[in-house]
A and B are shown apart, each in its own frame.
Chain A
Amino acid sequence: MILKILKYQLRDVFRSRWIIAYVLFFLVLTDVLFRFGGDGLRVATSMMNIILIVIPLASIILGAFYLYNAREYIELLLCHPVKRHQLFWGMFLGLALPLVAAFAGGVMLPYFYNAASAEAWKSALMLVFTGSMLTVIFVALAYYLALRFDDRIKGLGLALVICLFFTIIYDGLILFVIYMFSSYPLEKPVLVLSLLNPIDLGRILLLLQFDISALMGLTGAVFREFFGTPLGMGISVASLLAWLAVPITAGFRRFLVKDF
């Protein structure tokens, strides 16, 4: 049943103009970077910044819009013998998968036809992994918000605020903390803080991939020691998964009992 719903969802989403625009955005950007910058490693590094801004924002806004627009459709389907949990996964995957595919495809295609090196591919795949995680996390957040707030202005506004918070304000707060408590050993608290923000986490994972030399200063050593070990890798991936699981579960529960 989930597959049935998913099948039509995917058909719908892949025909929509915004997903095509989304693919083209990443495709053109990566292609242009290849043309100007040259090697795949450099392209991945440049893409990193864009991805960390664009993906959370696009995912949360598109996710919220999509679910608000699908309200009547969900009601309709729920009048058919469809179970709510089936419909939820159909709707969730029906948006998250196309977004991931659009982003991953758009980024990776130029790597194919530019015959990137193995190392460049490795960085590209890391990029795609992080971007995909962020996509799914922020779609999940968007779904939760859209299910929590019936007023779409409120929901979209909150989505924007959350996105802004995680991309910008949170880092400002970290810097503030670092300045305020600069005389204390801050390694551990800052590590924990970075685990609590999926965008920071994604950024650090990518940094370790790309800008290792920079992070390898004294501070970098701390981060590398943590994130470089299997334990640290495990914790950071677990943290990303937690970021994924919490909003999905919240949204899922909400969906099961929600009054449409």
Chain B
Amino acid sequence: MHRKSHIALSMALAMLMAFMVHSRPAPAAPGLTPSTETTSEVTPETTSEVTPETTSKVTPGNRVSDEVMTRKAARTESGPFAENLLADESNRSEAASRTLIVGERGGFARIADALSAASDGDTIRMEAGTYREHELLVDRQVTILGIGRPVIDVEHKGEGIRITADKVHVEGLEIRNVPTSHSRDHAAIRFERASGGKVIDNILDDTFFGIYLARAHDMVISDNRLRAYHTRESVSANGIHLWNSNRALIADNEIIGHRDGIYLEYVQESSITGNHVEKNIRYGLHFMFSDDCVYRDNRFENNGAGVAVMYSRRVMMKHNLFVNNWGASSYGLLLKEITDSEIFENEFSGNTIGIRSEGSDRVKKHRNSFHRNGWAIRIMASSMDNLITENNFIDNAFDVSTNSRRHSRNNFEANYWDKYSGYDLNGDGFGDVPHRPVRLFSLIVERNPMALMLLRSIFVQILDLTERVMPTITPETLVDEKPLMRKVAI
């Protein structure tokens, strides 16, 4: 109840703020029509500010890029990314690129005109203002730079920007009001068969899809803020959507209110780092058939479910935060048909289920922290040969539950369990008595979910105690033979 109202409140607030930001006066109707075949000219009074000569690099644009670079370098440790930017910058200057200005005070009044005027290697500089345009097609290799956060208002008329050329760089824009559609996948920014592009520091507000990559490889998507306001899964779409796109870097984005925050399907060798993914209706991050990916340092908070990793191999999950993912069938992390992966030093806190594991084999879960979850780990009998070691289990209603009394083929070893009541006489740091993390009550709940209402009742505590003293029903092999006496310092 509280949470709902909280969400509603913060959404209302965000909308209000968005409204205030957007309600700046729109630029005057285009007064002067620039010649379409050459670079735009600048109105006299602004000469001191910008000289859009074809030969020189534009200082303000450069300044923005510099800013982005330094910020990037400071915030993420992804060195190659910053270098990319630099290399790109130098490439452009070598190609003797031009700068096209779009804005009310001079140059092109419409982005579309500038786009069709541009040629490979050009920079389109957009001045602050609101541009009511849609279906902008970028079919040549340009850099689109927003100065002072220009707004492209799609006005619910269709797609925002569609990019079909390689190495297109989009930065500093705000795109809003991309309509929901049942037949077409409208996106604010779409890359189609266009590789090597960059999408940096944009704001996407109230969009259907945010950034959509299809067969676009080697992409960088960073520092964007994506916001949608959908409430139902059927009318919402994904924030950052990748299909058949390999080697992407998705870093430091903030994605709120979409269906899936980040969706990957048939994506290989990509890296998802430092994103903040919150309040998305279905999953924060959704993996399908995507092998050899890494995601780390992300925060998944309050999504329908945190992360669903399905049908993938060799996934590395590291240093992520899975927080408060609640729901009737919600979990921090769903592993479905995942093999040979690693879950390392993540924190699961306040989720209905921390990790739910189905049909997943040879996944090593180590040095994770499970704190205040309903179920820390639900490991189905279909999962085998998983190693669960050196994790902290603290204040969870249930540490481990499983759907089978039959023997488990997963290895729990040397974890810290706050419910462990044994002792360590020889002082080797391991408890002398094995710990059985599956409570009798969790089996009861597994068979009769209604019994959950008896959680923490004295009757149930007595049942559990009896079972602990004389184990008869709980799985015999699901045992931590040497539980840790102290928390693992992570």
Give me the interface of A with B, judged by CB distance under 8 Å. Answer: 42, 45, 48-49, 52-53, 167-169, 171-172, 174-175, 178-179, 182, 186-187, 190, 194, 200, 203-204, 207, 211-221, 223-224, 228-229
Q: Are A168 and B458 in contact (CB under 8 A)?
A: yes
Are the CB atoms of A171 and B350 closer together than 8 Å? no
Known interface pairs A45-B395, A203-B457, A228-B1; A213-B352 also in contact (CB < 8 Å): yes
> How many residues from B make CB contacts under 8 Å with A?
35
Which residues from B are CB-within-8-Å of A48? 456
B433 at the interface (CB under 8 A from A): no
- Bound together, the chains give a CA A216 to CA B304 distance in angstroms of 12
**Contact partner, A187, options B326, B328, B398, B450, Cβ 8 Å:** B450
Which residues of B1-32 are within 8 A (CB) of A? Answer: 1
Q: Is the CB of B462 within 8 A of A168?
A: yes
Q: Are B453 and A211 in contact (CB under 8 A)?
A: no
Do A216 and B352 touch (CB < 8 A)?
A: yes
The answer to whether B50 has its CB under 8 Å from any CB of chain A is: no
Complex Cα spacing A169 to B351, Å? 31
Residues of B217-244 contacting chain A, CB below 8 A = none
| Cα separation A228 to B462 with both chains bound (whole Å) | 29
Is B461 an interface position by the 8 A CB rule? yes
Residues on B with C-beta less than 8 A from A174 are: 453-454
Known: A168-B458, A175-B444. 9 other contacts (CB 8 A): A42-B395, A52-B457, A171-B458, A204-B453, A213-B372, A213-B373, A216-B327, A217-B445, A220-B352
**Chain B residues closer than 8 Å to A229, beta-carbon distance:** 1
Given A218-B328, A221-B328, A228-B1: A171 and B448 interface contact (C-beta under 8 Å):
no
Set of chain B residues within 8 Å of A214, measured between Cβ atoms: 352, 373-375, 397-398, 452, 455
Which residues of B are in contact with A by a Cβ distance under 8 Å?
1, 324, 326-330, 350-352, 372-375, 395, 397-398, 444-445, 447-462
15 residue pairs A–B, Cβ–Cβ below 8 Å: A167-B458, A168-B462, A171-B457, A175-B444, A178-B450, A190-B450, A190-B453, A200-B453, A203-B456, A213-B350, A214-B375, A215-B374, A218-B449, A219-B449, A228-B1
Q: How far is the CB of B465 from chain A (nearest CB, A)?
A: 12
Tell me, rounded to whole Å, the shortest Cβ–Cβ distance linking B372 to chain A.
7
Closest residue of chain A to B454 (Cβ to Cβ) is: A171
A89 smallest CB distance to B (angstroms): 32
Q: How far is the CB of A117 from chain B (nearest CB, A)?
A: 15
Contact between chains at B351 and A213 (CB < 8 Å): yes
B residues less than 8 Å from A203 (CB atoms) = 456-457
Residues of B within 8 A of A220 (CB): 328, 352, 374, 452
Minimum CB–CB distance for A219 against chain B, Å: 4
CA distance A204 to B445 in the complex (A): 16
> Using Cβ atoms and an 8 Å threshold, which residues of chain A touch B326?
212-213, 216
